A and B are shown apart, each in its own frame.
Chain A
């Protein structure tokens, strides 16, 4: 040994690392969601914040309950369970009773993640599993949209409803997609961009979601192909339909900016675990999501279809991976 040098440690190459970590990636996305939560609170009042808090609480508590090994605290703070709770909350309507949001967080982690074997093993996006569960269990509540209001400290009475009680009446309004589908009125671009519309907590302020997407994209927090391909497909297909029959089909800008598409494209389609690992697979995944979204919105019975589109494409991700392995060098 050289003078003054202690034990030399042995490890294998490489001795340089990029400095990136899964944890940091998760927290990066959590950070990008903070402005979205603030916007939701701004538009829907303090009750929106309560929904976010209980949904995250449900997710974290479930993660902690199921992960009993020594990594439990680690996985609690790796940001992934918090991220799932946040993502779920931001897809819920503002008037949802808090206990439902909590239950959604529990289901998202329990059935969406831990039952598959934890982080990295799940087939479906956990937050969307939670939301799909809530939509199936409480279809009415999940499609009741409170109008955005200014009163910051006004708690939406329905949010405080207890389990199994009648949900209090909500001053409801229709989402831009609902109006387009059932009333034939297309909301203008400006309200969509600025968020003065009804909708789920995190989906209404398009301009903010675009900013978050650009931020995460430039930070290389996700595979940019996924959101780009999703949005391009929706824009192209709906733009084409609009050309054929402008009265029946709304334009591409409306289709991209309304509903949960931007939120889904920036935060859900970009979940690395449940989307293809191959670059070509990423394009195909986005294409599939985009096509399904247009199909459900314009030809299906529901006004919105981002959640089901992503879940459906999640289910074929292993298949896409299998058929899009990169062409090897020199083959």
Chain B
């Protein structure tokens, strides 16, 4: 990092600089994964209540047809990723580790697999509540990883206003390049989605935050914006976790979202660039969320790629499309290397929140723990300015009442502390336990 580029790109304070590892896939165009025999759609792919199935064993479904309805406000719909027949609603392994009720669809091998589209909603003429409902019924969730239902973010609570919309194109997780490719290949759709969000929340100015390591994406987006003074493309320093909501806002506005508050309290709405493209697809083509872009990469993958994957495709099928795994593969991770989940079986589906599949040949995290030497590296890594060393000691000694005064719930679980710790203390795991302890105690 030269002083010159530091002066040019804004950022947040603290954070870490892991190796980027993006060169494996950053230049590879998004390719479609061919259809496979079976699709598994867990009823809970998103934050909030699981969807309510509208189909049963034997039901014939068309690609794009709604097969599960939202069950409550913080819930969303699901759609058939292929034309075929429902074989059952079964307990199947979920990428987050449990077995959950899932709709299993067997493809109709003789169908053309044309997408069953709705008429696109009219943003200008429909009342806001109808537009929000259409977003929910299209099954849109945040595609950055948390899979929070999009309609909830787009409907401002009474009395709240939004001045600014930020699209998150940082993609600060090492290895992942799916957002990068989306920005390079569909810049018009990204900017179109940004305009849709701005219109829905009534914001005047839109930003796209992109880390400087994606100059082609920055150039493509700038060209797509052309002369619109209301939209600004912001190159940001390459630093983890630049894509964490609060860090992104700090980098662009030099403003800290107060502890315990949301971006909306600063009149800001943040969405992922992939989500913006999904909104464009909905409002321009009437397309529900039946597929997403996934980066399949890592030293264990024979042919790394950026793929357009129908939701519900099995991990095994996706890896097979990429030439399979090297025999030395020891870990397969869904998500990025900093915040993803290790899988014990390849029999799990790609769900809406999965942005990457990573195959590692050496399990890096299994290192013997040494005593804490209080070197303070975790303090200087934590983007929330917490003291992970102290918090971890409190968690281990059941000092639950000491946790919240030190900001336990501010932890965003970015794992920067674990990354830097020379004593290999599982800091971020202890932070998760600590957060659960605080929540449990305050729930009593």
On A, residues with C-beta under 8 Å from B are: 1-6, 8-18, 20-25, 78, 118-121, 223, 272-273, 275-279, 282, 325-331
Bound complex: CA of A8 vs CA of B389, how far in Å?
A: 30
17 of the cross-chain contacts (CB-CB < 8 Å) are A12-B426, A13-B333, A13-B335, A13-B338, A14-B365, A15-B364, A17-B364, A17-B365, A17-B367, A17-B424, A21-B423, A23-B370, A277-B389, A282-B376, A330-B257, A330-B261, A330-B384
Q: Is the CB of A2 within 8 A of B319?
A: yes
Q: Is the CB of A325 within 8 A of B371?
A: no
The reply on B327 being an interface residue by CB < 8 A is yes
Listed from nearest, the 5 A-B pairs whose CB atoms lie closest are A120-B371, A14-B415, A272-B375, A4-B327, A11-B365
On B, residues with C-beta under 8 Å from A are: 16, 18-19, 174, 246, 250, 256-259, 261, 316, 319-320, 324-325, 327, 329-333, 335, 337-346, 358, 360, 363-367, 370-377, 379-380, 383-387, 389-390, 406-407, 410, 415, 418-424, 426, 428-429
Q: Is the CB of B423 within 8 A of A22?
A: yes
Chain B residues closer than 8 Å to A12, beta-carbon distance = 342, 365, 426, 428-429
Chain A residues closer than 8 Å to B360, beta-carbon distance = 15
Known: A4-B327, A277-B387, A330-B257; 19 extra A-B contacts, CB below 8 A, are A2-B320, A8-B330, A8-B345, A10-B344, A11-B331, A12-B342, A13-B333, A14-B339, A17-B424, A18-B419, A18-B422, A120-B371, A120-B423, A223-B375, A272-B373, A279-B379, A282-B376, A326-B379, A326-B385
Given contacts A22-B423, A328-B259, contact A9 B363 (CB under 8 A): yes
In this complex, what residue of B is CB-closest to A21?
Answer: B422
Q: Is the CB of B374 within 8 A of A24?
A: no
CB-contact partner of B415 in A13, A23, A276, under 8 A: A13
B251 to chain A, nearest CB (A): 13
Main SS of chain B's interface residues? loop
A177 to chain B, nearest CB (A): 31
B386 to chain A, nearest CB (A): 6
Residue among A78, A223, A272, A275 with most chain B CB within 10 A: A272
Chain A residues closer than 8 Å to B371, beta-carbon distance = 22, 118-121
CB-contact partner of A277 in B330, B379, B418, B426, under 8 A: B379
Q: Is the CB of B422 within 8 A of A328?
A: no
A16 to chain B, nearest CB (A): 5
Q: Is the CB of B366 within 8 A of A16?
A: no
Chain B residues closer than 8 Å to A8, beta-carbon distance = 329-332, 342-346
Q: Is the CB of A277 within 8 A of B374?
A: yes
Main SS of chain A's interface residues? loop
A220 to chain B, nearest CB (A): 9
Q: Is the CB of B259 within 8 A of A331?
A: yes
B103 to chain A, nearest CB (A): 25
Residue among A22, A120, A121 with most chain B CB within 10 A: A22
Given contacts A12-B342, A14-B338, A14-B419, contact A277 B376 (CB under 8 A): yes
Chain A residues closer than 8 Å to B250, beta-carbon distance = 329
B104 to chain A, nearest CB (A): 20
Bound complex: CA of A205 vs CA of B342, how far in Å?
A: 53
Bound complex: CA of A327 vs CA of B258, how far in Å?
A: 12
Given contacts A13-B341, A20-B420, A277-B389, contact A120 B367 (CB under 8 A): no
Bound complex: CA of A325 vs CA of B382, how far in Å?
A: 13
Chain A residues closer than 8 Å to B340, beta-carbon distance = 13, 15
Residue among A11, A16, A223, A276 with most chain B CB within 10 A: A16
Bound complex: CA of A275 vs CA of B376, how far in Å?
A: 10
Chain B residues closer than 8 Å to A329, beta-carbon distance = 246, 250, 256, 259, 383-385, 410
Bound complex: CA of A260 vs CA of B371, how far in Å?
A: 29
Q: Is the CB of A22 within 8 A of B365?
A: no
Bound complex: CA of A325 vs CA of B346, how far in Å?
A: 44
